Structure 1
Amino acid sequence: MPDAFTDLLVRQGDSVPTLQPKKWKVWWLTLLGLFFTQLWAGAVLPYYFEAWGLDTAHARLRGLVAVLISTFLSSYVLTPLLLFLFSPWVRRKEKEKDTKQPWKTLNDGIESIWIKVILTVALYGGCLITWLVRDS
């Protein structure tokens, strides 16, 4: 089952590939896109916050504007640009058969629903515990 990032890395207008891109390649391109988004946001947004009069606004309002702009930039500008540049590398070949571990998991992701549930509970449980301990 593909995830949101894997679905973003399928070229628009092309037919749906028989094999989704490898998870580790999606991870690298997503990380690269987020890096450039954050680099741009850190360099350019303070200027625009001052121009828009948001430099004295509440930090949460500035954060909301930054998240909205960064999400748009990452999803609709950088991901298509990186996919255009790296499409031959991301596209999965039919003859590649990586069936041995850990390569199978790196290419296709975790298949067991129970391991996914355990990892999700561990992540959000850890966040909840941190939030509760911090507020005490």
Structure 2
Amino acid sequence: MQKNYPVEYDLNIDAIIELIRCNNCFNSQLMSVRKAVVHILSREQILSILNKNLGNGLWALLVLKKENRALNKELLGDIVNQHYDKQKGVKLLGSRHMLDEMAARLEGAGLVEVSEVGRARLYKLSDLGEELIDFIQVQKSKN
């Protein structure tokens, strides 16, 4: 016994079936792309890329590791400049713009965690930042 549905209903069922079919195809393609990416970049490759692009931000990561606490951006910049000045005889961060740029790069890369207390933003070394410092130390000990 066949039921007679209105034409609109039949179209909706067909559209739903097509959407499910397309979604399944998309999900399987997405999974294969994800698997390919996982196989392309290893942990060491990712950390190596971060290290290569870190530049002078390494000074901030090392300060955060040494301080072992969250610092506001201005204090972080001051301490970075103190340590850099001892080593090189000049300030690393000569302007507020340079400090803002370095902080944004570290935050964007996930190397620092940022929390807000009132209007102040506090920067703390993230797990990924810790991992990167450990990776850099191992690489330096190999050389």
Same fold (TM over 0.5): no
Q: TM-score of the superposition, structure 2-length normalised?
A: 0.27
Greater share of strand residues, 1 or 2?
A: 2
Higher relative contact order (CA 8 A, sep 6+): 1
Q: TM-score of the superposition, structure 1-length normalised?
A: 0.28
